[in-house]
């Protein structure tokens, strides 16, 4: 479904990503692992087009080339993005936040409505008219995912969904991700928390210094302590 | 009592026009983060276009009221389209540039529209002929009140209600509000930013055009409308809270009423009064009536101030060579060249003083000309009332300017970003208004004449040397400050206020000190300038003069210490060149500003430094 | 136990209708690492900001070495000997690593208001000694803006130590770091805290760090302290398990 090949990215003069290649199939949960600053967030931002991929990079999604297109076109093609810092619209109510995310229904997928989302995130349903700024961190994290789902994506990019959340909320988050997988969505998430990754993901890609160092299933990763030690400092 | 009611109604009708303009400005700022200087020009264009369109309609179908309404709306739509054209051709390229660059680019547009208007409609004021129904009065409490003004008074609240519905009940409005907070995120959710921004520009510009068209019957279309309204519109937007439409409404009511009553009760200080109200509001509510602290506009990926390195030796040698050439000018150049060189020395110091605040201080002053002018007036007033000789006058100039730097700075350093820039502009307008209106003391428009150097410095050559010694000496001293513990503290406060306070730095005091030093240095430049010209005028404090300083700093590059020096020389060269070459110098200058902003977003010195460091493989921050 | 370095007594803070901190008291002794944990929105950050002066308490008092900090601004509190690191690193990006530390030393030695000296010549050796303590000596000349995240954290620690503090406040010191880096940073911190006899108060979401490094742990929920004790006591406290730790995960969402 998503195929990234030879992805390069730059911030000014700094070369951040070096020929990153990875693939995600529909219904799969893929996790990008790596240290802070390894390039996980930049990979996601380059896929969604917020960071412009360098020449020669290719990001194909559902058969179409995305590299070089503006973010809104990529999002409309069915790629949802949930940023690390949540970035909900604090002045807008829950319902208005969802409205911003709303896009046309997608063929072959049951369209998301606020009601369907509230079934997965019951907390949100109880605070429809509350401004985003008056929600707790965990509630905001749920809202940012729900908002992206309103665009009816086929694949959703989640940047560090467990960061800064209390252990109980992290469990809720893991459940939500598993539920999305059941809905048939592909999920690509970035994580530093291996425990969390192991609970939700099928496959892992390890990134370090902007380069892919290792790929494989999480079960295989369990048996490779050297890999974990070298790239994940576990 | 009748008088109160009538003045109140007059205030209401003025408030409507002000609200239309300010709401457009605040909506555009909210979404695009661009402070659109050209907004006043759109207002002016609205008036001129309405003058042409309404008259054409009337020629065709008689002077019917409905044709007036149609003409006004048509003018608004045309202005809206002009706004979209500006957004698409210019602003779209610089959305990621620092906000100051955007401001300057829009100021370039102001200059171009001024000359275009002059070329199309000529220099005369253009009043709209008023058929009887436009001149009708109605009786209110025994007084006659223009019916048209009453209609205007109602338009403001109606537009406010319509805007509220637009922003809360339509998808476009919700997207606009979302984009006001985080436009990158809105794009990542599948919303086409370009369309959204163009839509917002259409809406905002059309509101300004509507405002201009609506005031046409009671005023007349003239070439001063743009800059006179923009300062007021800024005040309204800042007092109301940037980005808040309801705030703009309340603020326009407040400001218009203050003006309506002020003109009767305190006619001598009407201009000052508006800005005093603004200062008072900002003291109590630093972010305006309904504003919120600005979540610092999300820095687009990786915009970090570079580390400062001392200039390479070769640069020092080049500077020394330039100084020697300038100092030896009396032996090989004519009188005109010497005059230009004196001005150049003055502007180098003027630009360097602004740079201390803008660069290391991170404080963008939009009214730096105030301190230049205060220095000049300090010297001139000293001569007029205390008979101070030049030597004492040149001491008085920086002290006078520095004193006001402290007084204004106390308010300024509490704010940040656009609020701060607007407040500095407001203070500059106060000073300008005082010199302009307080005729008994300052001579008003006629200025103060006869400010000549002492006998020993009367010769142009000697004065050049004096100017070089004071201005270049002052500039070098400012440079030294940048590398001192004080200068580092200033940069620390700019880089991370949180960390600076956490290591015991009093960031407000640091900024205040920088503000006062910069004001004093600008004052010295102004003093030297006054004696060079022999006179002082309110124009020394005008908005274009402040923009001159900004252009010099930005042209040179705000991130380098050498920047302002290079910028002052380049800008003054450009200015002298264009001024002599063309009648439409405003348009040419405006175009030059726009091209420079597009081509050299880091400034000349920043560009050169980037090349230098790349060539040597130095690690950039 | 020796007299506490930091003592918080019945702290109160309200935001509008929300009782963010309700009667919270705790002490930190010299050489002790005290962790403050709890769910998001429990009042940890508010509590933290009451101690460092960023916020003013509506009631109660914070004392440093017996002296009340009431009404003091953060910079005044710093002068009394409180060093801080931030959840999101706050350093001076336009300066080199060494200059960052020099800046703190310049402020500490009250050299700030000198206009003619060269800042880069001040306290150079001392800055380098501090950087060596946190293992950053060889990066002293690099622009701070290009540092890796873990190194920024260590730089922050060096800056926090520049005023020779009695108390170290660390807000989520390991947020955003890899497991091994976390342990390394906290081992380093612990060593310095012991060696210098500092008191250290930190908030943290990573339970490995909390249980592994803290001498004592206090747990907040809805503005109140709900538990206090050693790692084992807190880990087995049913109330803490319910509101915070969850069904048995020992390692949280960091």
**Quick one: C75 and C111 in the same domain?**
no
C80 touches chain B (CB under 8 A): no
* Mean pLDDT across B408-437: 83
Q: Mean pLDDT over residues B555-564, rounded?
A: 76
Mean pLDDT over B549-558 rounds to: 80
pLDDT at B305: 57
- Whether A169 and C243 lie within 8 Å, measured CB to CB: no
Each domain of chain A, given as residue ranges in start order, spans: 2-232
**Helix, strand, coil abundance in chain C, percent, nearest 5:** 40, 25, 35
Domains of chain C: total: 2
Write down the pLDDT at residue C45.
Answer: 85
Phi first, then psi: what are they for B128, rounded to 5°? -85, 130
B509 touches chain C (CB under 8 A): no
Mean pLDDT confidence for B530-557: 87
Q: Which residues of B touch A99 (CB under 8 A)?
A: 171, 174
Q: Which of C75, C78, C115 sits opposite B481 (nearest CB)?
A: C115
Chain C residues close to A158, C-beta within 8 Å = none
Task: Quote the pLDDT of residue B411.
Answer: 82
Per-residue pLDDT tens over the stretch B172-197 = 999 999 988 888 899 999 999 889 99
A151 interaction partners in chain B (CB closer than 8 Å): 189-190
Q: What is the mean pLDDT of residues A76-88?
A: 91
Q: How far A108 CA sits from the closest chain B CA (Å)?
A: 19
Lowest mean pLDDT among A34-38, A203-207, B194-198, B241-245: A34-38
In a domain, C19, yes or no: yes
Question: What pLDDT does residue B294 have?
Answer: 58
Q: How many Å from the N-terminal Cα to the C-terminal Cα in chain B?
A: 66
Q: Compute how many other C-beta atoms are within 10 angstroms of the C-beta atom of residue B303.
A: 11
C175 and C121 in a single domain? The answer is no
Mean pLDDT: which of B564-573, C5-14, C236-245 is highest? Answer: C5-14
pLDDT value at residue C254: 41
- Report if residue C253 sits inside a domain: no
Query: What is Dmax (Cα atoms) for chain B?
Result: 81
* C121, C238: one domain: no
B617 shares contact with chain A (CB less than 8 Å):
no
Structure-block tokens of residue B611: 């090349």
Rounded average pLDDT over A73-80:
95
Interface test with B, best of A71, A131, A147 (most B CBs within 10 A): A71
C118 touches chain B (CB under 8 A): yes
User: Distance (Å) from the C-alpha of residue A66 to the closest C-alpha of chain C?
Assistant: 30
Question: Which of A100-104, C40-44, C184-188 reaches the highest mean pLDDT?
Answer: A100-104
- State how far the alpha carbon of B124 is from the alpha carbons of A5, A190, B121, in Å: 65, 66, 8
Q: How confident is the model at residue A57, as a pLDDT?
A: 92
pLDDT score, position B238: 86
A201 secondary structure, DSSP code: -
Q: Which two tokens stand for residue C169?
A: 């406040």
In a domain, C155, yes or no: no
pLDDT at B358: 87
Alpha helical stretches, state H, chain A? 40-48, 71-76, 94-101, 114-120, 122-125, 137-149, 167-182, 194-200, 218-222, 225-232
For A2-232, the fitting CATH number among 3.40.50.300, 3.40.640.10, 3.20.20.70, 3.40.50.920 is: 3.40.50.300
* pLDDT, chain A, mean: 90
Is C156 among the domain residues? no
- Chain C contacts of A163, Cβ < 8 Å? 175-176, 253-254
The mean pLDDT value for C71-85 works out to 91
Q: Say if residue B514's pLDDT is above 60.
A: yes
Which range among B212-216, B265-269, B337-341, C73-77 shows the weakest confidence by mean pLDDT?
B265-269
Residue B129: CB atoms within 10 A of its CB come to 11
CA distance B170 to B172: 5
**Residue C196 and residue C74 share a domain:** yes
Any C CB within 8 A of A55 CB: no
- B384–chain A Cβ distance below 8 A for any pair: no
Q: pLDDT above 90 covers what percent of chain A? A: 56
- Does the residue C55 lie in any domain? yes
| Average pLDDT of the residues of chain B | 88
Residues 163-222 of C with CB under 8 A from B: 163
> Which among C175, C181, C151, C190 has a CA at the least distance from the CA of C252?
C175
Of the ranges B319-333, B518-532, C87-101, the best mean pLDDT one: B518-532
Question: pLDDT digit string (tens) for A153-186?
Answer: 999 999 988 877 777 888 888 988 998 998 889 9
User: What is the residue range of C187's domain?
Assistant: 6-81+165-245
Q: Are residues C169 and C226 in the same domain?
A: yes
Q: Which residue has the higher pLDDT, B74 or A84?
A: B74
Is residue B301's pLDDT more than 60?
A: no
Strand partners, B399: none
Q: Is A13 on the interface with C (CB under 8 A)?
A: no
Interchain contact, B181 vs A50, CB within 8 Å: no
- Render pLDDT for B247-287 as a digit per residue (tens, 0 to 9): 999 999 999 999 899 888 877 777 778 878 887 888 788 88
User: Average pLDDT in the A104-121 region?
Assistant: 90
Asked if C19 and C59 sit in the same domain, the reply is yes
Q: Which pLDDT tens digit goes with each residue over B93-139?
A: 888 777 777 888 898 999 999 999 999 999 999 999 988 888 899 88
More confident residue, A180 or B578: A180
Distance from CA of B517 to the nearest CA of C (A): 11
- The answer to whether position C254 is within a domain reads no
Which residue of chain C comes nearest to B305, CA vs CA? C94
Q: What domains sit in chain B, N to C, each tagged with a CATH number?
A: 2-225 (no CATH), 324-570 (1.10.3470)
The predicted structure's pLDDT at residue B599: 80
Q: How much is the pLDDT for B618?
A: 61
- Which residues in chain B are closer than 8 Å to C94, comparing Cβ atoms? 304-308, 491, 494-495, 621
CA B180 to CA B194: how far, in whole Å? 14
Put simply, the answer to whether C253 touches A173 (Cβ < 8 Å) is yes
CB contact under 8 A, A169 and C39: yes
Residues C15 and C63 in one domain: yes
Mean pLDDT along residues C127-153? 89
Rounded Cα distance between A37 and A17, Å, is: 11
- Distances in whole angstroms, Cα of residue B368 to Cα of each of B171, B522, C147, C217: 42, 8, 37, 54
CB pairs under 8 A between A and C: 87
Query: What is the Cβ-side half-sphere exposure of residue A41, based on CA atoms within 13 angstroms?
Result: 16
Task: Render pLDDT for C167-218 as a digit per residue (tens, 0 to 9).
Answer: 999 988 887 777 778 888 899 999 999 999 999 999 988 888 899 899 999 9
| B487 chain-C contacts, CB cut-off 8 A | 119
What is the largest distance, in Å, between two alpha-carbon atoms of chain C?
62
Q: Is B92 on the interface with A (CB under 8 A)?
A: no
- In this predicted structure, the answer to whether residue C248 has a pLDDT above a threshold of 60 is no
User: Are C42 and C60 in contact, with CB atoms under 8 Å apart?
Assistant: no
C180 Cα to chain A: minimum distance (Å): 5
- CATH number (domain holding residue C73): 3.40.50.300
Which of A15, A51, A87 should we substitute to test contact with B (largest number of B Cβ atoms within 10 Å)?
A: A87
Q: Which residue has the higher pLDDT, C50 or B269?
A: C50
Whether B455 and chain C come into contact, CB under 8 Å, resolves to: no
């Amino acid at each position: 479904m998503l195929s990234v090949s030879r992805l390069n990215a730059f911030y000014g003069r700094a070369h951040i990503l070096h020929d990153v290649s990875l693939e995600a199939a529909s219904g799969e949960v893929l996790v990008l692992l790596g240290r802070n600053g390894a390039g996980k967030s930049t990979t996601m931002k380059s896929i969604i087009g917020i960071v412009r991929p360098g020449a020669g990079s290719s990001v194909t999604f559902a058969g179409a080339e995305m590299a070089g297109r503006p973010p809104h076109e990529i999002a409309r093609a069915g790629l949802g993005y949930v940023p690390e810092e949540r970035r909900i619209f604090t002045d807008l109510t829950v319902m208005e936040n969802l409205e911003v995310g709303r896009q046309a229904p997608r063929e072959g997928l049951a369209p998301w409505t606020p009601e369907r989302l509230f079934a997965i995130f019951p907390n949100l349903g109880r605070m429809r008219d509350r401004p985003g700024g008056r929600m707790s961190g965990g509630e905001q994290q749920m809202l940012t995912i729900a908002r992206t789902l309103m665009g009816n994506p086929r694949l959703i990019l989640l940047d560090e969904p467990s960061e800064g959340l209390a252990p109980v909320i992290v469990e809720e988050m893991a459940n939500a991700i598993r539920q999305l997988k059941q809905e048939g969505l592909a999920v690509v998430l970035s994580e530093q928390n291996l425990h969390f990754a192991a609970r939700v993901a099928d496959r892992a890609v390890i990134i370090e210094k902007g380069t892919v160092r290792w790929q494989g299933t999480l079960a295989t990763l369990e048996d490779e302590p050297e890999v974990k030690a070298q790239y994940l400092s576990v | 009592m009748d008088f109160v009611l009538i003045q109140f109604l007059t205030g209401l009708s003025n408030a409507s026009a002000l609200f239309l303009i300010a709401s457009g400005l605040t909506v555009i700022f909210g979404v695009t983060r661009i402070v659109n200087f050209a907004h006043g020009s759109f207002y002016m264009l609205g008036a001129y276009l309405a003058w042409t369109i309404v008259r054409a309609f009337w020629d065709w179908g008689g002077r019917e009221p409905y044709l007036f309404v149609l003409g006004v709306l048509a003018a608004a739509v045309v202005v809206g389209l002009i706004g979209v054209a500006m957004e698409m051709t210019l602003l779209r390229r610089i959305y990621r540039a620092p906000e100051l660059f955007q401001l300057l680019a829009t100021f370039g547009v102001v200059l171009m529209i001024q000359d275009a208007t002059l070329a199309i409609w000529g220099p005369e004021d253009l009043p709209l002929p008023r058929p009887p129904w436009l001149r009708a009065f109605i009786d209110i409490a025994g007084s006659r009140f223009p019916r048209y003004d009453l209609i205007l008074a109602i338009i403001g609240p109606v537009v406010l209600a319509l805007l509220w519905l637009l922003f809360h009940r339509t998808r476009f409005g919700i997207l606009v509000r979302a984009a006001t907070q985080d436009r990158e995120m809105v794009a990542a959710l599948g919303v086409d930013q370009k369309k959204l921004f163009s839509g917002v520009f259409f809406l905002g510009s059309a509101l300004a055009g509507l405002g201009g068209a609506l005031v046409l019957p009671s005023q007349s279309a003239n070439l001063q409308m743009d800059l006179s309204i923009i300062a007021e519109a800024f005040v309204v937007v800042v007092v109301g809270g940037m980005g808040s439409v309801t705030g703009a409404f309340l603020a326009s009511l407040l400001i218009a009423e203050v003006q309506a009553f002020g003109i009767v009760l305190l006619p001598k200080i009407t201009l000052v009064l508006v800005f005093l109200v603004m200062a008072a509001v900002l003291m109590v509510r630093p972010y305006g009536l309904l504003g919120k602290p600005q979540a610092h506009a999300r820095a687009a990926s990786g915009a970090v101030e570079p580390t400062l390195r001392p200039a390479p030796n070769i640069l020092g040698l080049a500077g020394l060579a330039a100084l020697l050439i300038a100092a030896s000018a009396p032996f090989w150049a004519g009188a005109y060249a010497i005059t230009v060189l004196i001005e150049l020395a003055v502007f180098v110091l003027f630009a360097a003083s602004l740079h201390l605040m803008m660069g290391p201080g991170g404080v963008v002053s939009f009214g730096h000309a105030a301190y230049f002018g205060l220095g000049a007036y300090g010297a001139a007033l000293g001569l007029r009332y205390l008979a101070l000789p030049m030597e004492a006058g040149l001491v008085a100039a920086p002290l006078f300017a520095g004193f006001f730097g402290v007084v204004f700075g106390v308010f300024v350093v509490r704010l940040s970003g656009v609020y701060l820039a607007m407040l500095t502009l407001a203070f500059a307008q106060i000073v300008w208004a005082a010199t302009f209106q307080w005729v008994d003391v300052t001579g008003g428009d006629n200025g103060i004449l006869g400010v000549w150097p002492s006998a020993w410095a009367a010769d142009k050559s000697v004065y050049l040397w004096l100017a070089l010694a004071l201005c270049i000496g002052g500039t070098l001293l400012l440079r030294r400050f940048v590398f001192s513990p004080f200068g580092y503290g200033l940069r620390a406060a700019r880089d991370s206020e949180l960390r600076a306070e956490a290591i015991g730095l009093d960031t407000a005091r640091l900024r205040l000190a920088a503000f006062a030093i910069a004001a004093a240095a600008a004052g010295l430049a102004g003093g030297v300038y006054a004696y060079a010209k022999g006179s002082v005028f309110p124009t020394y404090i005008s908005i274009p003069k402040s923009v001159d300083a900004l252009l010099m700093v930005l042209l040179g590059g705000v991130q380098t210490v050498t920047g302002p020096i290079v910028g002052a020389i380049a800008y003054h060269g450009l200015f002298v060149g264009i001024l002599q070459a063309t009648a439409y110098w405003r348009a040419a200058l405006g175009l030059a500003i726009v091209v420079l902003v597009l081509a050299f977003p880091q400034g000349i010195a920043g560009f050169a430094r980037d090349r230098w460091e790349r060539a040597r493989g130095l690690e950039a921050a | 136990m020796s007299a506490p370095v930091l003592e918080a007594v019945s702290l109160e803070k309200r935001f509008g209708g929300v009782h963010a901190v309700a009667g919270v008291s705790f002490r930190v002794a010299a050489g002790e690492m005290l962790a403050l944990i709890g769910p998001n929105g429990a009042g940890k950050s508010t509590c933290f900001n009451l101690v460092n002066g960023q916020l003013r308490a509506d009631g109660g008092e914070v004392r440093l070495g017996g002296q009340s900090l009431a009404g003091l601004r953060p910079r005044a509190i710093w002068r009394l000997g409180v060093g801080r690191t931030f959840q999101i690193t706050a350093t001076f990006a336009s300066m080199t690593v060494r200059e960052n530390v020099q800046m703190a030393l310049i402020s500490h030695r009250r050299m700030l208001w000198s206009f003619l000296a060269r800042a880069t010549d001040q306290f150079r050796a001392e800055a380098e000694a501090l950087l060596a303590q946190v293992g950053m000596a060889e990066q002293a000349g690099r622009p701070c803006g290009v540092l890796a995240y873990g190194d920024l954290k260590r730089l922050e620690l060096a800056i926090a130590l520049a005023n020779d503090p009695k108390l170290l406040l660390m807000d989520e010191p390991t947020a955003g770091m890899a497991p091994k880096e976390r342990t390394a940073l906290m081992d380093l911190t612990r060593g310095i805290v012991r060696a210098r006899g500092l008191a250290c108060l930190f908030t943290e979401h990573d339970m490995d760090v909390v249980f592994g490094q803290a001498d004592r742990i206090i747990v907040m929920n809805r503005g109140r302290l709900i538990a206090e004790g050693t790692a084992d006591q807190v880990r087995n406290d049913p109330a803490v398990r319910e509101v915070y730790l969850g069904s048995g995960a020992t390692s949280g969402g960091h």
